[in-house]
Amino acid sequence: MSSEEFGAGGRNTFGLLSSPYSHPVMLSEEQLRDLNYPLLAEHGRQLDFLASTLHQRGLDVHAVVLRLAEFQVAIPSWALGTGGTRFGRFPAGGEPRTLAEKIQDVGLLNQLNGSSNSISLHIPWDIPTDVAGLQQLLREQGLTIDSVNSNTFQDQRDQPHSYKFGSLSATDPAIRAQAVQHNLDCIGYGQQLGARVHTVWLADGSNFPGQSHLRRAYLRTQESLATIYEALPSDWTMLVEYKPYEPNFYSMVIPDWGTSYTLCQSLGKQAQVLVDLGHHLPNTNIEQIVGRLRQLGRLGGFHFNGSGYGDDDLTTGSAKPFQLFLIFNELVDASQDASLPAAQVAYMIDASHNTKDPLEDLLQSVDNILVAYAKALLVDRAALHEAQEANDVVRAEEVLRDAFLTDVRPLVAEGYRQAGGALRPVQALRTAGIRQQLIEQRGKCSLSTGL
């Protein structure tokens, strides 16, 4: 990700490779071929049928598949183990215990779908200790570190000051200085591993009326962010994420895209707004926010996830595939608008939950994202524009429906195949018995989350 919008990402390398970290569970090229073989004939039939249908609509199926094969979504290190709720955690077994094992898991995902070639790190959970070894592992797996995420929403052991009442917005300058330093440390760790994006999600806020001076909390945050921004390397982007509630329930210092936007405006060009799909109140028109930010030149990235009520962090596109399609429709529309400059948008997943095998969940999320993207690429933009200009409400909606209701799964599968991956990644993961191998290697109760 973090490449030019919808542009090419690096390709993975396949096959068993030597590594400073012993025995990563990987699939050989031959295994992947064997997994695809029984599906190839039916896949070919479906793809041919779809190609001829799209050809009649004036669409070049090869161009669409190429865009899909190039599209990359970053995987968060914190989603490789089962997440929890306030009530409990139900581990899947075989979860990664170290940063090296998290990298290996993402390597496995990328082998299967060719669309997950980078990783988002969370500091201090992922502080690199063996930088040279990790760099080598990343090279071998064909992966990069795209972003580092700071964490001032919980106290770490040995930390002099508590974040109980805020971090970058805290009333005590010593607490703010500590939180700023943590963010600078994150950038330093990211530089060691080649990251180019620093993401700030601020949990600061208040739980009760009167607890916090709303304007002064904003100004203190702005000042803290400016200090971090000054230290940002010139080729980095700083993403400012917003969230309407939780962990604070009366006010959040950065509750909405408007606040993120004004902070970014005050910081400078390298500051951009990050849209986390779960960080909106129910029924918010997220695609409109995406369109606005893109128009304003401040759309920096996404945290993809699925949400029914709030920050549910479920599988992306599981319950609201139409919303995901409409978001991609805005992105594709903007990318084809000659009046808008190209944007560097970081596509990342931010999900973590309790019920599914984390690797299967991530494969499903990436698949749903690619399906939404593929459908957005099929929209007849000229017809849509014409209908909009003529205020032909029904025709405009029908144009979107034509694209959304097309079963594009053969295109996505062909993208996987062309990237050297599996036609059906989840099925391949199961057939290859990956989880069992991971459990044998790492044990049933392995754990790496920092929560």
Enumerate binding residues for Mn ion (CB under 5 A). Answer: 276, 303, 350
Q: Quick one: 105 or 241, whose CB is closer to Mn ion?
A: 241
What residues does 205 pair with on adjacent strands? 252
Question: In the bound complex, what is the minimum distance in angstroms from residue 345's beta carbon to Mn ion?
Answer: 15
Phi, psi of 80 (to 5 degrees): -85, -15
Instruction: For the CB of residue 131, give the shortest distance to Mn ion in the complex, in Å.
Output: 26
Q: How far is the CB of 264 from Mn ion (least distance, A)?
A: 16
Closest CB to Mn ion among residues 107, 205: 205
Q: Which is nearer to Mn ion, 37 or 153 (CB)?
A: 153
Positive or negative torsion for Cα 145, 258, 6, 8: negative
Instruction: Pick the closer one to Mn ion by CB: 70 or 241.
Output: 241
Shortest distance, CB of residue 80 to Mn ion, whole angstroms? 16
Sign of CA dihedral 423, 427, 429, 431: negative
The smaller minimum CB distance to Mn ion, of residues 113 and 150, is found at 150
Least CB distance to Mn ion at residue 285 (A): 19
Minimum gap (Å) between residue 301 Cβ and Mn ion:
10
Q: How far is the CB of 336 from Mn ion (least distance, A)?
A: 28
Compute the least distance from the CB of residue 293 to Mn ion, in Å: 15
Nearest to 11 by CA among 71, 62, 65: 71
The rounded distance, in Å, linking the Cα atoms of 222 and 229 is 10
Phi, psi (deg, nearest 5) at residue 199: -110, 130
Shortest distance in whole angstroms from residue 274 CB to Mn ion = 7
Compare residues 126 and 350 and give the one whose CB is closer to Mn ion.
350
Q: Taking the complex as a whole, how short is the minimal distance between the CB of residue 201 and Mn ion, in angstroms?
A: 6
- Residue 93 CB burial class (10 angstroms; 0-12, 13-18, ≥19): middle
Q: Name the token pair of 8.
A: 């090419």
State how beta strands 299-304 and 346-349 pair: parallel
Least separation in angstroms between residue 16's CB and Mn ion is: 34
Question: What residue type is assigned to position 212 of the chain?
Answer: S
Nearest CB to Mn ion, comparing residues 303 and 375: 303
CB closer to Mn ion out of 241 and 367: 241
C-beta closer to Mn ion: residue 119 or 408: 119
Give whichever of 305 and 446 is closer to Mn ion, judged by the CB atom.
Answer: 305
Distance CA 23, CA 21 (A): 7
Nearer to Mn ion, 76 or 107 (CB): 76
